[in-house]
Structure 1
């Protein structure tokens, strides 16, 4: 099943998809050159929004947690991409240790870890799963909803190496976004840690990522002759905000108003009659926390106590002091009247699949990455790398190819971001 694009405003998007299909050889050549210049992240996922007149990334995750939601028919793609990624990091690697989030109760997240381990094992590695949970003091099997069992094992240090009992890994694969900081156990580890520690949310900022994305999008747009706004959401930042104490509120409201007017001007230029909106989100953090929609500056000023409380903290209970104000991109894709948005997964520089995030309890102008009984992932039916040039630009293989191109632009932006924030480049410690 592929979501229906429920909007009459498909003209600009069809033109964009058509141009991307026509420029496929140029695009693939451009990406090949870029990956000769820059190191690709080990893996990533990108949340996209399709407004019918615009397709753009709204979030890039460097510790993706939904491999269990991918179409199993694409597992060979995942395995081959993992082989490529491993060869670049540690050509003679034999053993990988996965360090996941500390979510023993979230069995669906652990199913993701099991899927990731499956991919790595089939790439020719011995794989075990460690844990940072102090209560787990011995190998602990956990039954998963899939019928599988995953075993979490306590980790310890042997000098400058991170090991399990009887297992000394060649490399450490983090599937933990380090929102709460770098655990002491991981500091000064000799083995390669991937993604690097500075990719964690304790240092990473969404504003840095989207600044790099804007740079990438502008170059790409010039390459194929399109308006970069069609693939790039505006953004602004607001620092020193305190939602609980209502400090910085007027600054935030003023920036929201300026952003809305900027979007409104673009809508007028393109004959778009929808109401502009912005998404306000914590500049660091994930899991759909610390996010709100605003269509007027008063939406910021009129937050009630409970709303301010929800905006004040994110994962690990971290206080929000910096926010990203991002142009809201509607999603006009829907399945059975439930809004949907594509999430594209990549290993190395290969698109290995994706799924649709579907939420019946949310609207076309709201964040869908949020808790809800109706959250249903819907795997992509076709790969994102095999467009059918003779078919319509909006045929599923071609739409998925467009999604894959935009996701790879975000992946390239993440590469630039990690280069810029690498402490070794700044003369710091690794």
Structure 2
């Protein structure tokens, strides 16, 4: 299994961070246990990390992960155990689950992800069927995933306050692998069955800025626990609204926001003795799939965007217009897999790390978004279920991957707090 190469010139501060994490491992695990007693775990999630050698931080957290097919299959037993734990919390008596995927059925790699999810939950002892919200699918339809796995989609029906399939399949639980970018369909509202993740986890409600606000608090608490500067694990950010990229409305306000954030990053770079040029990532505050994203090194770059750039920034998935963005501190990635720029993506179910992969892009630079056409994936070799080797060096692969799992779980905890803050029924 490939292990990333990290430039030795860059690993001083990160090595110290990894050493702190390794030394504090018992306290860290105890702290996480106490946090999960106070906050309900998201059902599942994935976290994009960036490792610059001087900083290790999450840059995105997905509540509806779509890359289970990219995980190392050696980790399947752990994923099955985590699935059992996640289901037990929601519906201990569950025998069956209706899995509702995204509507983009032409993406055969996404269908491979669906097939991988089905396999995990079947191995966990559940009968799994696939229901679709796609209006184009009006009867049971057989599709084929990229690896040849069969995927059978059936239209979802509603009887009373329950979701069922045409033959009467009436599941105990409904699992969404659909991020609701296009809004919350009435079909899903006020159903009796346990629905996971909840509707307010979808992009119809969720905002990246809310997540990083919650992460800000988590990072402060964790930094205090292991005595580090929270900036080492936390990207600075700001948000901007009232934008219309096509008509250039809000352009100057966005440039001012970029300028302010770059100034704050330069202060931290000077403090830490970092000689790189700071940059920020401007991205849609709601949305996934790497759409509506640009890398910026000066405020002038967001003024007078050409038509191609305006088109790229103005819409995201489902053709939704972008009026709100998060401006996030860019974190360089100095990791490479086979000489191509790479970033780790960590997958979790319930409170457990169940694997991950490197997102690799041969055509992108160390300061660019890698979630773009042309990317490919290399499974992470999380050894011994992402447990550390406390006798090993802090930067050996096993311990580096443990550090990745710790930072990813911090983002998962932020996701838990974020869901509490946006839950219409939370008291």
TM-score by length of 1: 0.97
* Secondary structure of 1:298's aligned partner: helix
Name the residue aligned to 2:341: 339
Name the residue aligned to 1:284: 286
Question: After superposition, where does 1:407-422 map in structure 2 within 5 Å?
Answer: 407-422=408-423
Deviations 1:53-77 (CA, angstroms, capped at 9, x unpaired): 0000000000000000000000000
Name the residue aligned to 1:394: 395
Name the residue aligned to 1:20: 21
**1:130 paired to 2:131:** yes
* CA apart distance, 1:41: 0.5
Q: Is the 1:7–1:332 contact (alpha carbons within 8 Å) kept by the matching residues of 2?
A: no
Moved over 2 A (4+): 382-385
Deviations 1:205-252 (CA, angstroms, capped at 9, x unpaired): 110100000100000000010000000000001110111111111111
* Secondary structure of 1:8's aligned partner: helix
**1:376 paired to 2:367:** no
Deviations 1:148-194 (CA, angstroms, capped at 9, x unpaired): 11111111111111001231000100000000001121122111110
CA distance in 1, matches of 2:425, 2:267: 42
Name the residue aligned to 2:214: 212
Q: Which runs of 5+ in 2 are unaligned?
A: none
Match of 2:246 among 226, 244, 255: 244
CA distance in 1, matches of 2:243, 2:402: 39
Q: Is the 2:50–2:58 contact (alpha carbons within 8 Å) kept by the matching residues of 1?
A: yes
Aligned-residue CA RMSD in angstroms? 1.0
Name the residue aligned to 2:223: 221
CA distance in 2, matches of 1:266, 1:60: 24
Question: After superposition, where does 1:135-174 map in structure 2 within 5 Å?
Answer: 135-164=136-165, 165-174=167-176
Aligned residues: 424
Name the residue aligned to 1:63: 64
Name the residue aligned to 1:326: 328
* CA apart distance, 1:7: 5.0
* CA apart distance, 1:424: 1.2
Q: Is the 1:241–1:322 contact (alpha carbons within 8 Å) kept by the matching residues of 2?
A: yes
Name the residue aligned to 1:231: 233
| Residues 302 and 8 (structure 1), Cα distance of their counterparts in 2 relative to 1, 3 Å cut | farther
Deviations 1:28-54 (CA, angstroms, capped at 9, x unpaired): 000000001110011000000000000
CA distance in 1, matches of 2:43, 2:249: 39
* Secondary structure of 1:83's aligned partner: helix
CA distance in 1, matches of 2:407, 2:382: 17
CA distance in 1, matches of 2:90, 2:356: 24
* CA apart distance, 1:302: 3.7
CA distance in 2, matches of 1:218, 1:122: 39
* CA apart distance, 1:141: 1.3
CA distance in 2, matches of 1:7, 1:314: 38
CA distance in 2, matches of 1:136, 1:299: 43
Moved more, 177-186 or 137-146: 137-146
* Secondary structure of 1:418's aligned partner: helix
* Secondary structure of 1:233's aligned partner: coil
Q: Is the 1:241–1:321 contact (alpha carbons within 8 Å) kept by the matching residues of 2?
A: yes
CA distance in 2, matches of 1:36, 1:133: 38
Moved more, 182-191 or 215-224: 182-191
* CA apart distance, 1:147: 2.3
Q: Is the 2:111–2:146 contact (alpha carbons within 8 Å) kept by the matching residues of 1?
A: no
Name the residue aligned to 2:95: 94
CA distance in 1, matches of 2:276, 2:251: 26
* CA apart distance, 1:381: 1.2
Q: Is the 1:235–1:325 contact (alpha carbons within 8 Å) kept by the matching residues of 2?
A: yes
CA distance in 2, matches of 1:126, 1:425: 31
* CA apart distance, 1:126: 0.4
